[in-house]
Chains A and B, each alone.
Chain A
Amino acid sequence: MTSYLSLVTKYLSAHKKKTRLVVLSVAISVALITGIFSMLDVFQRFEKMQMIHDYGNYHILIKDATKEEKEIISSRIDVRVSGEWIFFRNGSLNGKECRVDAIDESIAPNMRVDLLEGKYPVAENEMMLEEWAAENLKLKADDTLKLIFSDNTAKLFVLSGICSDYSNTKAEDEPAALLSVAGANAVNAEKTTRLYIEFKNGVNVNKAQKDIQSSLHLTDDRIGRNEYLLAVMGQSSADKATELYMTGGILFCIVLIAGVMMIYNTFNISVMERVQQFGLLRCIGASQPQIKKLVRREGLQIALRAIPIGLLAGMLITLFCTALLKFYNKNFFGEIPLFQFSIGGIVAGIGVGFLTVLIASFVPAKKAAKVSPVNAVTGSNDLKISKKKKQGLLTRSFHVETAMGINNAVVKKKSLLLMSYSIAISIVMFLGFQVFIDFLNTSIKTSKPYTPDITLTSEKGLSDDLYSTLRDVNGTKAVYGRMFSYVNATFDASRLTDSYKESMGGIPTKDNGQFAPREKSWLISYDRNQLNWANMDLLEGELSEEKLNKQNGIIAVARNLRNNITTETTSFQLGDKVFIETPNGTKEMTIMGILRSVPFNDSVLSMTTFITTEKLFTELTDEESYKAIDIQLQKSDQEDAFNQIKSLLNSSVTVYDARQKNAESNQTFFTMAVFIYGFVLVIALISILNIINTMNTSVASKTRYLGVMRAIGMSSAQLYKMVLVEAATYSLSGCLIGCVAGIALQKTLVASFLSSYHIVWKFPGAQIGLILLMILVITAISVISPLKRIKKQGVSEAIGSL
């Protein structure tokens, strides 16, 4: 021993178990911090890919750009690529309705238009089709086809190439005809053009946009921004995104604080346990600065051992998330390397780890240095002397071991607060994030139990024979039919939303308060199963087939898709009357339920959507055969089943294949969910480890005390109960604060952000139940190992341990 500081190394290696525990908990905190930072980093990369996939790889667009503007933009040094997309109104292709577009070859890859075979259309008479559409129309490269534009001019084109499928067009059975830009310019039909711009990496999009706008004198309404992508890149200026950043920032700080608190807590406990040792050193002549130096040196040594382990573990957490996403979607995320090194994460882990240990060792070092040598050696330092006398209320209302357990927790106010808050934070975050998950679940149309993979429709109706044959097809999971029709419906004019009235150019109210409908309404029939499924989206009322039949009930739908935009045209209330024109005169129906949305949409513009039972539908429309049949397929051998189904159909039946679209929405949801749950998990881990750690040290520091309790006759069961009650006091008080605050947060979040989506807040009974269960399990787990250690030790050993 050359210096008194080698005491640190000696101490650490003499108390291997204790050292390991401290190193472990510091390592875990570092892992969590590294994990959070890396996850955020990787999440951003994944989400950016997702957004590029969903919304296109462009930052801003300019509407109706002139040739001169185009040239100026493309010659800018900060623009990576720019290109035009020309939109026409729908036309028809060999008799089939289709979209008509033209995209510059330069920007095509950015918009996910990938050439599969042939060549990109360049000449005026060249065009390109999606693979599914070419197959559907039985066309191949170099075939000639006739395209009729919206102004009824017809033109012949040569199919120069085939490109990959777009999920939307496929699901709507509406192919997109992609012309060359030259070809598009040669057509006189009504069109709009947009110039899409992707900036180079690292360009400040907002600044570049301003620059372009001022140099080209572009007004704001000519600029479009890809807010989704910009939001992920952290370059969005939209209010919503800023709010999101703020929320993210706050959540992030909470995680950071929780991690820092855990390191601090561990280190503090480990130093405070040895007050006596430090007192002893003071007795034999150590100065206060020397003690401080000792403690700090210990911190440093622990940090040096813990941080590398933590970094490695943190990277593993991220690896797990990456692997999950890659595994879930090989095609899409396949190119992303499995090992993602987030420099930010590693730097943060090291930085935060060292800093925290340093700070965490300063405070206990100060405390240790302040220890009076006498107090330390006699051991009378445990409690501050309180002036209050104790009346001993607890022992009167509880069994003594319970009372003492509670007391043990309550007496240590600081650790009670620390523990409760750390648990509360995780619960609040869990509950808060749950809102986002719910929101994603409802807003992104992920596959719900009733989402069809394939929909068959026919104007003439689909026969019952076909329906039953389809049910027997190998590989179908569920087959269910819908009838639908467009009816004239009217009701109290005040139930129409202002925006709808405006879009219709004003709708006059008649004397009886009703109005003459400008558009028909979509009437859909549901069978019992479909009504049950719809319960998920029920906002008000109930969905009972019997009651609907008995009381002439119909169900209103709050949100409808018009032109692919979700809109609200009506605001019904339960009990409102709706008058529907039927072949047998007007019929009065009563609104008995309101749904958030329906899982399908139609290209026909309608005023609103109503749902009723099959029986009432037939009464209202005199129609009996299904107009649409929805089919869900089994997971495996989908193509076989699909081909088999197709072979059963005649030409009057249109097939809508929504599988790709469903898969894409699911994946958008999944990408978000992996990271959101990853976050929650990490935060939960922090508090779980905090409980376990605190219980471990709490029990360890009371070895002697517990020994005495056993000596005066406390049984093992009582001992166990006492320690358990102490742990439960921590966790339940945290649980209480967390649940109350979490529920309040949920309610505010739902009320302020999601009310416009018709998401209503419900008491999260199941979530609270889950939380309680988890907390109880964790509490029980947290006391197992310390108690085991205590039991192993003889009573006399424990008492004599000081």
Chain B
Amino acid sequence: MDILTAKNLCKTYGAGETMVDALKNVSFSIAKGEFVAIVGPSGSGKSTLLNLLGALDAPTSGKVYLDGKDIFTIKEKELSVFRRRNIGFIFQAYNLVPELNVEENIILPLLLDYRKPDKKYLDELLGILGLTERKHHLPNQLSGGQQQRVAIGRALATKPAIILADEPTGNLDTKNSREVINLMKLSVEKYNQTLVMITHNQSFASFADRILNVEDGVVTELGGENR
């Protein structure tokens, strides 16, 4: 079953002489439970693609269906609700809320949805992420790897339809990177989550079920399924 479908996505920045086609007619779909890596050189349009998939940005033309819903037809007001329930984000710079502790950061999307966090699930999550001991720490008391694990926790908290990660290991050393990737892979499998991850690192891409390559705004499948 396809959880995410992109159809003829185009994104153009600027106009006239400075016009740049960031994405050109991108179409693909992702099935539930898949781990998809997006690779490509700098400026190829990876982040633009991810932003569109996460409804953080609007395309020039084309459509994205998430869980059967055309996300660009959703009104701004409902979009934020849709986003916090269906999409989890992991950023390169972690982007944790510095004033909130680990636990609060993880349950933040739930709190924004006025839901009571499921204590059992939260404890389990903290356990998997190895953050049980540090749940009352503030982000700046944590190492980069730990911070990124909190971000993973935050993305998983609402059990979203899809998790989008933009170079989650970009700021981490090899050891921490491997740990984070492993954790992501583990949680995706455990909770049957769908993960789309941008990475520069070919060896991390190899963890994925599929690899999409973006070059000059054109997306091609590299096919890592059988590796």
- Closest CB-CB distance, B132 to chain A, in whole Å? 13
B97, A404: Cβ atoms under 8 Å?
A: yes
Total interface residues on B, CB under 8 Å, equals 40
Interface residues as binary, A790-802 with B (CB distance below 8 Å gives 1, 0 otherwise): 0000111101101
Does B113 interact with chain A (Cβ within 8 Å)? yes
Task: Compute how far the CA of A718 lies from the CA of B99 in the bound complex, rounded to whole angstroms.
Answer: 18
B56, A395: Cβ atoms under 8 Å?
A: no
A389, B97: Cβ atoms under 8 Å?
A: no
A391, B136: Cβ atoms under 8 Å?
A: yes
Tell me whether A799 and B56 are in contact in the complex, defined as CB-CB below 8 angstroms, given that A392-B103, A400-B108, A712-B84 are known contacts: yes
- Closest CB-CB distance, A276 to chain B, in whole Å? 13
B77, A404: Cβ atoms under 8 Å?
A: no
B83's partner among A379, A400, A401, A713 (CB-CB below 8 A) is A713
Provide the residues of chain B in CB contact with A705, threshold 8 Å: 95, 97
B141, A385: Cβ atoms under 8 Å?
A: yes
With CB as the reference atom, state the residue of chain A lying closest to B96. A708
A716, B77: Cβ atoms under 8 Å?
A: yes
Does B210 interact with chain A (Cβ within 8 Å)? no
Task: Compute how far the CA of A315 lies from the CA of B114 in the bound complex, rounded to whole angstroms.
Answer: 53
A714, B51: Cβ atoms under 8 Å?
A: no
Does B159 interact with chain A (Cβ within 8 Å)? no
Task: Compute how far the CA of A391 lies from the CA of B136 in the bound complex, rounded to whole angstroms.
Answer: 6
Provide the residues of chain A in CB contact with B87, threshold 8 Å: 713
Provide the residues of chain B in CB contact with A718, threshold 8 Å: 80, 112
Task: Compute how far the CA of A385 lies from the CA of B143 in the bound complex, rounded to whole angstroms.
Answer: 13
Provide the residues of chain B in CB contact with A386, threshold 8 Å: 138
Chain A, range 691-734, C-beta contacts under 8 Å to B? 704-705, 708-718
Interface residues as binary, B54-94 with A (CB distance below 8 Å gives 1, 0 otherwise): 10111000000000000000001100110111011101010
Task: Compute how far the CA of A629 lies from the CA of B76 in the bound complex, rounded to whole angstroms.
Answer: 71
Task: Compute how far the CA of A717 lies from the CA of B97 in the bound complex, rounded to whole angstroms.
Answer: 19
- Closest CB-CB distance, B216 to chain A, in whole Å? 20
- Closest CB-CB distance, A265 to chain B, in whole Å? 21
Chain A, range 378-406, C-beta contacts under 8 Å to B? 379-380, 382-383, 385-386, 389-392, 395, 399-401, 404
Provide the residues of chain B in CB contact with A395, threshold 8 Å: 100, 104, 111
- Closest CB-CB distance, A307 to chain B, in whole Å? 37
Provide the residues of chain A in CB contact with B137, threshold 8 Å: 389-390
Does B98 interact with chain A (Cβ within 8 Å)? yes
Chain A, range 654-710, C-beta contacts under 8 Å to B? 704-705, 708-710
Task: Compute how far the CA of A401 lies from the CA of B104 in the bound complex, rounded to whole angstroms.
Answer: 12
A711, B83: Cβ atoms under 8 Å?
A: yes
Task: Compute how far the CA of A379 lies from the CA of B140 in the bound complex, rounded to whole angstroms.
Answer: 11
A382, B98: Cβ atoms under 8 Å?
A: yes
- Closest CB-CB distance, A385 to chain B, in whole Å? 5
Provide the residues of chain B in CB contact with A379, threshold 8 Å: 93
Does A411 interact with chain B (Cβ within 8 Å)? yes
Does B109 interact with chain A (Cβ within 8 Å)? yes
Does B154 interact with chain A (Cβ within 8 Å)? yes
- Closest CB-CB distance, A122 to chain B, in whole Å? 87
Interface residues as binary, B101-126 with A (CB distance below 8 Å gives 1, 0 otherwise): 10110001101111000000000000
Tell me whether A712 and B89 are in contact in the complex, defined as CB-CB below 8 angstroms, given that A386-B138, A400-B112, A718-B112 are known contacts: yes
Tell me whether A380 and B140 are in contact in the complex, defined as CB-CB below 8 angstroms, given that A399-B111, A411-B99, A711-B54 are known contacts: yes
Does A408 interact with chain B (Cβ within 8 Å)? yes
A408, B111: Cβ atoms under 8 Å?
A: no
Task: Compute how far the CA of A379 lies from the CA of B95 in the bound complex, rounded to whole angstroms.
Answer: 11
Provide the residues of chain B in CB contact with A621, threshold 8 Å: none
Tell me whether A404 and B101 are in contact in the complex, defined as CB-CB below 8 angstroms, given that A389-B137, A714-B80, A718-B112 are known contacts: no
B112, A390: Cβ atoms under 8 Å?
A: no
Provide the residues of chain B in CB contact with A441, threshold 8 Å: none
Provide the residues of chain B in CB contact with A399, threshold 8 Å: 111, 114
How big is chain A's contact interface, by range?
A: 35 or more
Task: Compute how far the CA of A714 lies from the CA of B81 in the bound complex, rounded to whole angstroms.
Answer: 7
B136, A390: Cβ atoms under 8 Å?
A: yes
A715, B103: Cβ atoms under 8 Å?
A: no
Provide the residues of chain A in CB contact with B98, threshold 8 Å: 382-383
A400, B111: Cβ atoms under 8 Å?
A: yes
- Most chain B beta carbons < 10 A, residue from A383, A395, A709, A713: A713
Does A407 interact with chain B (Cβ within 8 Å)? yes
A389, B91: Cβ atoms under 8 Å?
A: no
Provide the residues of chain B in CB contact with A391, threshold 8 Å: 101, 136
Task: Compute how far the CA of A531 lies from the CA of B51 in the bound complex, rounded to whole angstroms.
Answer: 75
Task: Compute how far the CA of A509 lies from the CA of B77 in the bound complex, rounded to whole angstroms.
Answer: 85
Task: Compute how far the CA of A400 lies from the CA of B100 in the bound complex, rounded to whole angstroms.
Answer: 11
Task: Compute how far the CA of A795 lies from the CA of B85 in the bound complex, rounded to whole angstroms.
Answer: 17
Task: Compute how far the CA of A390 lies from the CA of B141 in the bound complex, rounded to whole angstroms.
Answer: 11
With CB as the reference atom, state the residue of chain B lying closest to A410. B99
A716's partner among B76, B84, B85 (CB-CB below 8 A) is B76
Task: Compute how far the CA of A214 lies from the CA of B138 in the bound complex, rounded to whole angstroms.
Answer: 78
Provide the residues of chain B in CB contact with A704, threshold 8 Å: 95
Task: Compute how far the CA of A683 lies from the CA of B95 in the bound complex, rounded to whole angstroms.
Answer: 40
Tell me whether A390 and B101 are in contact in the complex, defined as CB-CB below 8 angstroms, given that A385-B140, A712-B154 are known contacts: yes
Task: Compute how far the CA of A386 lies from the CA of B136 in the bound complex, rounded to whole angstroms.
Answer: 12
With CB as the reference atom, state the residue of chain A lying closest to B155. A712
With CB as the reference atom, state the residue of chain B lying closest to A395. B104
A794, B57: Cβ atoms under 8 Å?
A: yes
- Closest CB-CB distance, A787 to chain B, in whole Å? 14
Tell me whether A710 and B80 are in contact in the complex, defined as CB-CB below 8 angstroms, given that A391-B136, A799-B56 are known contacts: yes
Provide the residues of chain A in CB contact with B112, threshold 8 Å: 400-401, 712-715, 718
Task: Compute how far the CA of A641 lies from the CA of B80 in the bound complex, rounded to whole angstroms.
Answer: 71
Chain A, range 745-802, C-beta contacts under 8 Å to B? 794-797, 799-800, 802
Task: Compute how far the CA of A400 lies from the CA of B116 in the bound complex, rounded to whole angstroms.
Answer: 11
Task: Compute how far the CA of A408 lies from the CA of B114 in the bound complex, rounded to whole angstroms.
Answer: 20
- Closest CB-CB distance, B166 to chain A, in whole Å? 9
Tell me whether A712 and B51 are in contact in the complex, defined as CB-CB below 8 angstroms, given that A392-B101, A407-B99, A796-B56 are known contacts: no
Chain B, range 138-195, C-beta contacts under 8 Å to A? 138, 140-141, 154, 158
Task: Compute how far the CA of A797 lies from the CA of B51 in the bound complex, rounded to whole angstroms.
Answer: 10
- Closest CB-CB distance, A413 to chain B, in whole Å? 13
Provide the residues of chain A in CB contact with B76, threshold 8 Å: 716
Task: Compute how far the CA of A167 lies from the CA of B155 in the bound complex, rounded to whole angstroms.
Answer: 82
A796, B80: Cβ atoms under 8 Å?
A: no
B104, A715: Cβ atoms under 8 Å?
A: no
Provide the residues of chain A in CB contact with B85, threshold 8 Å: 713
Task: Compute how far the CA of A197 lies from the CA of B102 in the bound complex, rounded to whole angstroms.
Answer: 81
Task: Compute how far the CA of A386 lies from the CA of B101 in the bound complex, rounded to whole angstroms.
Answer: 12
B113, A799: Cβ atoms under 8 Å?
A: no
A715, B111: Cβ atoms under 8 Å?
A: no
With CB as the reference atom, state the residue of chain B lying closest to A705. B97
B95, A799: Cβ atoms under 8 Å?
A: yes
With CB as the reference atom, state the residue of chain A lying closest to B50. A796
A708, B91: Cβ atoms under 8 Å?
A: yes
Chain B, range 13-61, C-beta contacts under 8 Å to A? 47-48, 51, 54, 56-58
B103, A711: Cβ atoms under 8 Å?
A: no
Tell me whether A389 and B101 are in contact in the complex, defined as CB-CB below 8 angstroms, given that A716-B77, A802-B93 are known contacts: yes
Task: Compute how far the CA of A84 lies from the CA of B141 in the bound complex, rounded to whole angstroms.
Answer: 85
B100's partner among A392, A717, A802 (CB-CB below 8 A) is A392
A713, B97: Cβ atoms under 8 Å?
A: no
- Most chain B beta carbons < 10 A, residue from A382, A794, A796: A796
Provide the residues of chain A in CB contact with B141, threshold 8 Å: 385, 389
- Most chain A beta carbons < 10 A, residue from B56, B103, B136, B141: B56
A713, B81: Cβ atoms under 8 Å?
A: yes
A713, B84: Cβ atoms under 8 Å?
A: yes
A796, B99: Cβ atoms under 8 Å?
A: no
Q: Could you list 12 examples of A-B contacts with CB < 8 Å?
A: A382-B140, A385-B141, A389-B136, A392-B104, A400-B108, A708-B91, A712-B89, A712-B108, A717-B77, A795-B51, A795-B56, A799-B95
Beyond A389-B137, A399-B111: 12 further Cβ-contacts under 8 Å? Answer: A383-B98, A389-B101, A392-B101, A400-B108, A705-B97, A711-B89, A713-B84, A713-B85, A713-B109, A715-B77, A718-B80, A795-B56
**Top 9 closest A-B pairs, CB basis?**
A713-B84, A400-B111, A715-B80, A389-B136, A796-B51, A390-B101, A795-B56, A708-B95, A796-B57
